[in-house]
Structure 1
Amino acid sequence: MQKVSLYFENGLFLEARSFGAEGTAVGEIVFNTSMTGYQEIVTDPSYAGQFVTFTMTEIGNVGCNAQDMESRGAFCKGILVRQYQKRPSNFRSEEPLDALLKRFGVMGICDIDTRYLTRMIRNQGAMEMIASTEIHDKEELKKRLEAAPRIEEINYIEEVSTDEPYVHEEGRYDAKTFRYEKPQTSKKIVAYDFGIKRNILNELTHAGIRVEVIPNDTPAEQVIERFQAGEIDGVFLSNGPGDPLILHDEKERTQKLLDARIPMFGICLGHQMLSIAHGYDTYKLKFGHHGGNHPVKNVEKGTVEITAQNHNYNVPESLTEVAEVTHVNLFDNTIEGVRYKEEPVMSVQHHPEASPGPHESAYIFKEFYEML
C-alpha cells in the first residue's frame, strides 16, 4: 500500500492508503449502507463515474469470485473503506478484492474515517472529488478537479453498454447445486442495455421471459418492427449510470416505443427514462439512495418491503398525472414505482433483483411477465 491524496469539492483535503489500481481519478462520491455484497456493488455499472464509500467497516474479507460479477467488469472510479482485509477467507473466494480492482483500473482507498465521510455527504450532499497516488499537492489536486467534467456532463452509458446483441438464458443461481437454473420461457423481450446487471437478467428469465440484450443505441424502429411482426412481446429498459436528463437519444427512442404501445418495464434509470419520455423531468436527490436496507411501501397491497437501491435521481410527484403510484420510499416518501394509466407500461426505482440485498420485491418480475 502507498499514500493516496484526496481532495473534495468542498475544500477538504485528506491522506489515506491505497490498494487496487494506482493513478489519478475524478468522480462523484456517494455512500452505500449495504452490510454485504461489496463485489456486486463494485461491478454494478450504475456506479460508473462514482467513488463509493462503504459504511460497512471491513471490506475484502470474503474475497471475490466470477459467480458474483454483476457485469463484465468494474466501472466505478474507486471505493473508500475503513479497513481493507487483504487476506480473504471464504470457500467461494477465487481472488482478493485488490486483484479485481487492479484488473479493471479501479482505485481502492483505505485507512480513512468513512463515518466522517458519510456524515459529510449526508449533510452537504454528493460532491465531486479527486484521488491520486501520483499527486499530493493540494492546490494541484484542486486545479485538476475544477478542470475536470462533472458526472452530469458525461454519458457513461456509452462506456458500459454492450457492443453486440446477445441472448441471456440463465435463471437464478442455486446455492445448493452451485449452478444457474435453465427455466422454460414463453415470452420474448429485448432489453436495452444502459448498464444492465446480470441478476436482473437472471430474474427476468426465472419469470419465464426469454431476454435478448441489445446495445443502448439500437434504433427504436428496429424494435418496433420486431414487435409488430410478433417476434417479441415487450421491451425492458435497464438500470444505468449518470444523469438521465443528458440522454437525449435514449429519450427519443423511448418516446417512439411508447407511441408504438409496446409493453415496457423499466428499473432505476429505465424508470427515470420512462418518466422523462412522458414529459416529466427527473431531479437530483441530495445524496441519493444507495444500500440494501431501504423500506418501501407497496401501495396496492399495503405491505412493506426492504429493498436494495442505487440511484441519485428521482421522478417528480407530477408524474401522478399520467401514472398510478405503486411503491413509495418510507425514508423520504419519494416515488419508488408506477404503473402508467393509459399504457401497458410499469417501472420501479429500486432494484427488485436484490444483488446484493433482500429478495422481497422479486415478484415484480412476475408482474411484468403477466403484463406481457
Structure 2
Amino acid sequence: MDKTNMSAFFKKYTMVIALILITLFFTWRTGGNMILPQNVNNLIAQNAYVFVLATGMLLCILTGGNIDLSVGSVVCFVGAIGGQLMVNKGWNPGMAMVVMLLVGIVIGVWQGFWIAYVRIPPFITTLAGMLIFRGLSNVVLNGLTLAPMPASYLALFNSYIVDVFHGNSINITCIVVGLIATVGFLAASFAGRAAKAKKGYALKPMGGFVGRCVVISAVIMVFMWRLAQYKGIPTVLIWLALIIMIYAYITSKTTIGRHFYAVGGNEKAAELSGINTNKVYFLAYANMGMLAAVAAMITIARLNSANPTAGTNYEMDAIGSCFIGGASAYGGTGTVPGVIIGATLMGVINLGMSIMGVDANWQKVVKGCVLLAAVIFDVVSKKRAK
C-alpha cells in the first residue's frame, strides 16, 4: 500500500481505529471487565436511545450542518404521555405506542413546517421546542414520576429472544443469528462489488475489500458470542437493527436519501437541479420527531417509569455521535454506519469510565474533548482538501 492509499485508508477509518484502541484501553484499565458479557449487554441497553436519535439527527445534519436541540425534551414529553396512558389510564400498550408515535410525528411536522416553509433557523425553532416540550412534560406529569410500566410493554424492549435450541451455558440461537448476519453481510458485500464491476465502476483493491469483510465478520461473531454468554439477544437490539438497516438503505440507495446529501452539499445547486429543498428540510425534521418518539418508548421501558427529567442532554449525545462518526459540520457528508460507530464510541467511553469509577463531571469533560477533536479533524481535513 503506497503512501497515498495509506493516508486515504487512515482518513476513512479514523474513528474505527479510535474505537478499537479506546476499547482495548478500557479493557486493559478495567482488568477485562469492559468486555464481560453483561457489560456488552449493558452497552446496548444504556445507549439504545443514542443509536435511534443519532440516526435521525444525521438527516438533519446532512441538510447543512443543522441540528435539532429539542429531541431530549420531545423524548421526555412523549414518554410522559405514554406513562399517563399506560399507568394512569390503563391503556393497552399497543394503543399507547401508536399515540406516542403520532405525537412524535406531529411534533416533527410542526417544527419541520417552521423550518422548511417559513425558514425560521433550525437552531431557533428547536431551541424553542426544547423549552416548550420540557415544560409540557412537567405539566403532563404534574412534576411526578409514573411507574411501573405494564409487564407486556417492558417485554417489548427489556426482554431477551428465547433460545429455541435450549442451550445450557451458551445461547445457541444467538450464535445462529450471528452466523446468518455474517453470511448476509458477506453476500451483500460481494454482490455489491460484482454489480459495480458489471457497470464498469472503479473498484477498491481486492486485498483491502477482503480484509474489511474479514474484520467486520469477526466483529459480528465476537459480539454475538459475548451476548450468547449472558442472556442472548436483547429485544431492543432487534429494534435497533431494523432502524439502522432501514435508514442505511434510505440514505445510500434511494433518491430522497441522495437529496439530503445534495441539499447539504450545495442547496442552491440542488434547487436549480429540480430538488424540492423545502420538502427535504421538512422530511428531516418530521422524521426526527418520529424517531424521538421511538427513543421515548425505549427510554421509559429502560427506566420502567416516566419522569420529568428523562431525556436530559439526549440531544447532545445524538449530535456528538454524528460528528464523531464522520458527519460534517457543514452538511452533505456522513453515513449511518459512521454514526453507529460514533454512538458506540461514546457508549464505550461512558461505560469504561463508569466501570473505572471516574467522576461524572470528568466524564463530561472527556466527551466534550472527544467531540471537539472530531469536529477539528473534519474542519482541518476540509481546509487541506481545498
Please indicate the TM-score interval, normalised by the length of the shorter structure: under 0.3
Q: TM-score, normalised by structure 1?
A: 0.24
Q: Which of the pair is proportionally richer in strand? A: 1
Structure in which a larger fraction of residues adopt helix: 2
Structure number with bigger Rg: 2
